[in-house]
Chain A
Amino acid sequence: MNPTSGPAQALGDALAAEYAAIWAYGVIGVHLTEAARSAARAAEAAHRSRRDALVLQLSSGGGPVPADRAGYALPYPVTDRASALKLAVEIEERTAGHWRAALPHTTGADRNRALAALTDCALRATRWRRTAGVTPVTVPFPGRQA
């Protein structure tokens, strides 16, 4: 994340984060059951629609549209419910960070969209913390690196 980069770069970074989130939820979902699994599916769908909107936005702007990768390295083995929930929280925080970084580079409707995306990521992180039994369920500055 380079805070001095331009809008296309900032949105491209957000797109890369969305790709990674979609991929991660594939791994996360299989270790969850019932309500948590449904929540993971809903989260994945939300990230897909952000991805689609970004691809449209970036391609209509005529700039480069970063491509998805075939796979990603997990920061740690995800083998059970606990590690899956931990990854879900981290993925949402990370994606929130990229959307937050897009805010200074956008104005008007684009900024509102970035804020909506940041807020959605922060809300999902809060819900995952609650599911995981992590307290507090909130952080003071969603998307800001600690």
Chain B
Amino acid sequence: MVLTCPVATGRRTSDQGTPGHSRRALLRAGALVALGGAAVPLTGCDLFDRDDESKPPDPLEPLAAEATALEARYRAAATAVPALAERFTPIADAHRAHAEELRKVIGRPAPSGSPAAGPSEAAVDPDTVRTELRQAEQEGRDNAAKACAAAPAERAALLGSIAAARATHVEALK
């Protein structure tokens, strides 16, 4: 039904220069209809412009956002306390790798408007920085463990590794 509606041409100008009837948009719309369109407001043409936003968020979105925020915190901490950069950088890299893997599993890019950077490290006292990061990691580890417990089989191993990695970060900050 959606596909019979005239598509608002000219509103999609960036997608391969084929406004409106891009194959991808049609495929996406087809996928949505195949899913029964549940929870998708079928307001005709608008569907093509905001298909990603109208799908319910993946339960792993918060974990992916947390990984990105943790990476940013470690990068900021490495700048604030250069003496500990050697320790912080591999952990920042691990969080980035986690975010990338989570994005692959989610199958969608980060929602626009999600913060690119976490809170900046106000404290520059190395012990305070480490303590704060340790707390953040501990919380992150608990979140990942909960996500692992609730996840379908195909996501369990990745989430288990992320939970375990965050636990080792707590240890590495001691």
Q: How far is the CA of A118 from the CA of B171 in the complex (A)?
A: 15
**B interface: dominant SS:** helix
Q: How far is the CA of A39 from the CA of B153 in the complex (A)?
A: 34
- Interface residue count on the A side (C-beta < 8 Å): 32
Q: Which residues of B contact A (CB under 8 A)?
A: 86-87, 90-91, 93-94, 97-98, 101, 145, 148-149, 153-154, 156-165, 167-169, 171-172
Q: A122-B168, A136-B172, A141-B162 are in contact. List 16 more A-B contacts (CB 8 A).
A: A100-B160, A101-B157, A103-B148, A103-B157, A103-B160, A104-B156, A104-B157, A115-B160, A122-B165, A123-B164, A123-B168, A138-B169, A138-B171, A140-B93, A142-B161, A142-B165
A111 close to chain B: CB less than 8 A:
yes
Q: How far is the CA of A144 from the CA of B94 in the complex (A)?
A: 13
A105 close to chain B: CB less than 8 A:
yes
Which residues of chain B are within 8 angstroms of A103 by Cβ–Cβ distance?
A: 148, 156-157, 159-160
Q: Which residues of A contact B (CB under 8 A)?
A: 96, 99-101, 103-106, 108, 111-112, 114-115, 118-119, 121-123, 125-127, 130, 135-144
**Closest chain A residue, CB of each to CB of B171:** A126
Q: A105-B153, A140-B93 are in contact. Are A100 and B161 (CB under 8 A)?
A: yes
Which residues of chain B are within 8 angstroms of A139 by Cβ–Cβ distance?
A: 94, 165, 168
